[in-house]
Amino acid sequence: MLPVVSHEVRTGRWPYVTVCLVGLNVLVLGFAVSLGPRFVPFLQQWGLVPARVAAEVTLHNIATVLTSTFLHVGVVHLLMNMWFLYVFGDALEDALGPRWFLFLYLVSGFFGSMLYVATAGDSPIPAVGASGAVSGVMAASLVLWPGARLRLPGVLLLLFVASFVVTALAALGVTAWGPLAAVVAVVAALFVLLLRREAGGFWAGLLGGIRVPAWLVLGLYIGLQLYSGLLVLVSPTYGASFGYWAHVGGFAAGATLAWLFPSHPRALPEAAGEA
């Protein structure tokens, strides 16, 4: 996911549901880590095991569809999900209200988990993480503010784009250093022009950040999830540890619910006459 650091919308109240969700996920990871050698069995018991859910409908198996969304395998996994939850969640909670926001989060996580089960029904590996629910939050944010812009640090964005280009070229069979260096140089040159045009100065954009349309960032995100998910269907060994279809399911659920729920989204800075 692109290194987003802030959303353009400014909220008018403290997002206590979002903060509580972040806190709950942190507490659950802390508890799981404190189990020591029982950490893995704990994930196995309360994580989403597609083969187990597909084989038998029990209260416990149904419960794991949601409990798995509060489990994470490590600090980095947790931080990535919670960071994007907070960046997009505070504005969405302000627009929908705490109750509808919490409902959207949980339903997105549920549908994300169920789509993962539908596409990985034979897998005995427990799936954990809030990615499906967070994907729903990001999708709902895009529905409410399709014209919003996100701030991304220029240096991190450059590294991400260069890495993505090199990976894509390698997948196409281009592995020679010369062609790779030439393409990366072109990307870097275009990036410099972007910084100078959009950020009011190269160094300000490189170190402070540039504003990128939300539809571009989130469109790239869901596009990559769909592409990777299709590769999984063709070759189940591809990305076996990632729940791409959970992300797709959560994204679809969040977008749909955002259309249905009553909302009062704040105007973007430009529409409100601000700088």
Q: What is the mean pLDDT of the chain?
A: 83
pLDDT digits (tens, 9 = 90+) for 21-34: 999 999 999 999 99
Per-residue confidence band for 274, with pLDDT thresholds at 50, 70 and 90 = very low
In a domain, 127, yes or no: yes
Nearest to 31 by CA among 9, 15, 52, 46: 46
Same domain, 145 and 47: yes
Residues 10, 54 share a domain = yes
- Pick from 215, 222, 208, 81: which is nearest to 152 by CA? 208
Quick check: is 267 in a domain? Answer: no
Confidence label for 252 from pLDDT (cuts 50, 70 and 90): very high
Specify the higher pLDDT residue, 4 or 101. Answer: 101
Regarding predicted confidence, which is higher, 233 or 192?
233
Residue 79 sits at φ, ψ, to 5 deg, of -60, -40
With respect to residue 265, please indicate whether it lies within any of the assigned structural domains. no
Which two tokens mark 115?
A: 């789509």
- In this structure, the answer to whether residues 138 and 71 fall within a common structural domain is yes
Q: 217 with 190, same domain?
A: no
In DSSP notation, 53-116 reads HHH---HHHHHHHHHGGG--SSHHHHHHHHHHHHHHHHHHHHHH-HHHHHHHHHHHHHHHHHHH
Domains in the chain, number: 2
Whether residues 94 and 54 share a domain: the answer is yes
Q: Is residue 124 part of a domain?
A: yes
- Identify whether residues 79 and 195 lie together within a single domain: no
Assess if residue 273 is contained within a domain.
Answer: no
One-letter amino acid identity for 131? S
181 and 195, same domain (yes or no): yes
DSSP character for 37? G
**Does 99 reside within a domain?**
yes
Show the tokens assigned to 31. Answer: 């508890």
- DSSP-assigned letter for residue 210: E
The fraction of the chain above a pLDDT of 70, given in percent, is 75
For 210, half-sphere exposure in the C-beta direction (CA atoms, 13 angstrom radius) is: 24
The verdict on 14 and 86 lying in the same domain is yes
**Does 275 fall in a domain?**
no
Residues 106 and 242 in one domain: yes
Whichever domain contains 126, its CATH number is: 1.20.1540.10
pLDDT band at 121, cuts 50/70/90? confident
Same domain flag for 37 and 160: no
DSSP strands (E only) in the chain: 6-7, 149-152, 210-213
User: Quick check: is 166 in a domain?
Assistant: yes
Pair (55, 128) in one structural domain: yes
Q: Mean pLDDT throughout 47-65?
A: 89
What domain range is 159 assigned to? 154-208
Q: Is 7 helix (H, G, I), strand (E, B) or coil?
A: strand
> Which of 191, 208, 225 is at the close of a domain?
208
Task: Tell me, yes or no, whether 63 and 134 share the same domain.
Answer: yes
Report which DSSP code applies to 126: P
pLDDT at 271 over 80: no
